[in-house]
Structure 1
């Protein structure tokens, strides 16, 4: 796609030593309030912005870049809103203690997290972990909406970490949580993403499931690109090592568009009360140079992968699928699903010839949907 090609050129031409705009050194926030500015850290051990307060913090109209975490908060019952902000990954440096991928936002222990109308490029996405400590009201939840991301990338110094556009890895039930209207484009050879969205032992509630809807996700590939196997993909529910009371649960995944992904588009590896419906998955399984993918591809799958007895009461229905298998040897819309893992019915398999033109048409469909709903994700990047 032309848009993806322009993004790749921007990545290749990006200079970490650009003189404009002027960036200040790392910022440590210890009091609540609204902050705007340009901050950077060229040291992977030091976050570009560190939030060390439970008071509500708003970061807006800013530009942030880092060799490690761009925005981080650890153990502060954080209430963080990030909006209309650009984030860029810088070349990673050596680190101490543990790898520090270039997360746009990484929060451990939180009451409220909002990320809206932001632009992420060459970062390691958004991570929410450890525990939710909010009051379960709509004002203390998770909202990740209207963002644009290009080339989610898990590179660290001399290595690679599994990273996502969004990962939930908290304990506790969070009502009113939403991941919606985001545009994520990963390019082969320029990105290093695992699952684009991974819900890992995290839960909504019976009355208010986590809603993952109306996202456009294009591209998921191994890195380096010539690796023969790839374990990432699109949107997955994952729940290893726990019983049904702590497993991923109460999630609704609907009206998303998944295009050109390796391995899988929609998956349930563990969890319960998960519904995936009215999504579209289009995979021509071919690189821009016309060569077919050399790694596994599939549309939807569900399996009690960990045998923990936590996978039940799930459904995958009314999804529209057009997926070529590895090396184009077969169609692979539905793979490895069992009734216990997910009740599948009324999924539509497109009879069309699956080509990159069909993928391109899906992006046109996405742009039309944005216009009809009056939504314009993210700011226009300035680097």
Structure 2
């Protein structure tokens, strides 16, 4: 079968649902903004706020109350040194995506709400109380956020010493997802924290809660701690990477403890990689207290002396915007069906001058630990790359049963091939990043 025809078939089968391609961490919008006064809405629904630029000395940039089905996208916020940039109260199904924040007291606080998504945003300098603002500074905080579809994912945050004063950069407080749809904190890049002696990177289960997961996050010098579980049940810290040099406020890289009343159970702390130096100059990778035991996966966590600040690229703010300049090519159009022709004797076939590569032609390699290949909940092939992304890095997916091969460039820490693979297919995936390679078969 010709590759062109197979592509058309996959266009019909794979694109049954619309899925956004993940170009990498952070905001991807490259357009212009229109200056706007602060926006405040009560009881609105089904609206989109986009393309605005808002700053304020003493007010929220956007405040929504008792509202639902609102998208805030492709906008720029800050400075807002005294107030949270986006504040949500008693809201439902609010998506904050592809925005840029700079010099904000906090980027997002959502309280008593459901279905909140804060994804693919760039945040520079969480000011906190540094300039007189009330309350602690956060990248994103959920307070009594419940139900399905809540996420803080694929954001980039950089805080510069002397220009920022965050507490917990991501804080999930008195909030509960569901067993089928936990609150997800995934794929965020965070660099810089402190000088708070109590704040740090990502904190799940603050004042209890349930069904929360933080995974695939990378944190460099995040503050007093790196990633934490502070209580609740059905909590997971998985495959996070934490590095910190010695700082006067540093304590420990990973914490799992119940600071609150109520029993903690179904706690998982697995496959986290840590190199964290405390304020005394000692390695202090993790502290898991007995009141959250038993903890699944505890033996799979690792102190890694080879982890350093290079786990994040030197430029993280604006990185996703540069990745969208060269979009993936358009798929071939779906051909119009034609009537079956009258059969004629077939001539000897002429071989294609450049036949499609077969899955067996992919090399056999020793998998590199910096590359993780997996499928997500949308049945997409995904790649996580930890560390440097070399020029020309690619992911190749082959479906042997269809003699089909597709290749695209890696675009950042997280890359997804935007095909939803039908159940029953086996995909052979090969990733090459410089001299680092991995190959895995995924069965859907």
TM > 0.5: yes
Picking from 72, 84, 88, the partner of 1:107 is 88
Name the structure 2 match of 1:148.
122
CA contact (8 A) 1:304 1:341 kept: no
SS in 2 for 1:195: coil
Name the structure 2 match of 1:254.
215
Residue 370 of structure 1, CA deviation: 4.2
Alignment of structure 1 residues 1-383 onto 2, 5 Å: 37-40=34-37, 48-67=38-57, 68-74=59-65, 76-90=66-80, 101-123=82-104, 124-132=106-114, 141-155=115-129, 158=132, 160-171=134-145, 173-222=146-195, 230-240=197-207, 247-285=208-246, 293-306=247-260, 308-328=261-281, 330-338=282-290, 340-341=292-293, 343=295, 344-352=298-306, 358-363=308-313, 365=386, 368=389, 370-371=411-412, 373=414
Residue 211 of structure 1, CA deviation: 1.4
SS in 2 for 1:200: strand
Once residues 263 and 167 of structure 2 are traced to their aligned partners in structure 1, the CA distance between those partners, rounded to angstroms, is 23
Once residues 133 and 76 of structure 2 are traced to their aligned partners in structure 1, the CA distance between those partners, rounded to angstroms, is 25
CA contact (8 A) 2:311 2:388 kept: no
Once residues 366 and 39 of structure 1 are traced to their aligned partners in structure 2, the CA distance between those partners, rounded to angstroms, is 39
Once residues 327 and 143 of structure 1 are traced to their aligned partners in structure 2, the CA distance between those partners, rounded to angstroms, is 38
CA contact (8 A) 1:317 1:345 kept: yes
Once residues 213 and 158 of structure 1 are traced to their aligned partners in structure 2, the CA distance between those partners, rounded to angstroms, is 31
Once residues 264 and 251 of structure 2 are traced to their aligned partners in structure 1, the CA distance between those partners, rounded to angstroms, is 23
Once residues 363 and 341 of structure 1 are traced to their aligned partners in structure 2, the CA distance between those partners, rounded to angstroms, is 36
SS in 1 for 2:144: strand
SS in 2 for 1:154: coil
Measured against aligned partners, the alpha-carbon deviations of 1:293-352 in whole angstroms (never above 9, x if no partner) come to 21133110111112x124221111110111111131x10001253362561221011133
Once residues 90 and 68 of structure 2 are traced to their aligned partners in structure 1, the CA distance between those partners, rounded to angstroms, is 7
Residue 276 of structure 1, CA deviation: 0.7
Residue 118 of structure 1, CA deviation: 0.6
Question: Residues 310 and 80 from structure 1, CA distance in 2 versus in 1: closer, same or farther, beyond 3 angstroms?
Answer: farther
> Which stretches in structure 2 are left out of the alignment for 5+ residues?
1-31, 315-385, 390-409, 417-444
Once residues 180 and 131 of structure 1 are traced to their aligned partners in structure 2, the CA distance between those partners, rounded to angstroms, is 18
Aligned CA RMSD, in angstroms, stands at 2.3
Once residues 37 and 258 of structure 1 are traced to their aligned partners in structure 2, the CA distance between those partners, rounded to angstroms, is 33
CA contact (8 A) 2:310 2:387 kept: no
Measured against aligned partners, the alpha-carbon deviations of 1:157-215 in whole angstroms (never above 9, x if no partner) come to 745421211100025x3212222111011111111211010000111100111111111
Name the structure 2 match of 1:3.
none
TM-score relative to the length of structure 2: 0.61
Question: Residues 339 and 315 from structure 1, CA distance in 2 versus in 1: closer, same or farther, beyond 3 angstroms?
Answer: farther
Measured against aligned partners, the alpha-carbon deviations of 1:11-41 in whole angstroms (never above 9, x if no partner) come to xxxxxxxxxx9xxxxxxxxxxxxxx83113x
Once residues 118 and 177 of structure 1 are traced to their aligned partners in structure 2, the CA distance between those partners, rounded to angstroms, is 18
> Which stretches in structure 1 are left out of the alignment for 5+ residues?
1-20, 22-35, 41-47, 93-100, 133-140, 223-228, 241-246, 286-292, 376-383
Once residues 261 and 324 of structure 1 are traced to their aligned partners in structure 2, the CA distance between those partners, rounded to angstroms, is 12
Once residues 99 and 289 of structure 2 are traced to their aligned partners in structure 1, the CA distance between those partners, rounded to angstroms, is 36
Name the structure 1 match of 2:346.
none
CA contact (8 A) 2:130 2:165 kept: no
Bigger Rg over Cα: 2
Once residues 318 and 256 of structure 1 are traced to their aligned partners in structure 2, the CA distance between those partners, rounded to angstroms, is 12
CA contact (8 A) 1:185 1:218 kept: yes
Once residues 66 and 249 of structure 1 are traced to their aligned partners in structure 2, the CA distance between those partners, rounded to angstroms, is 35
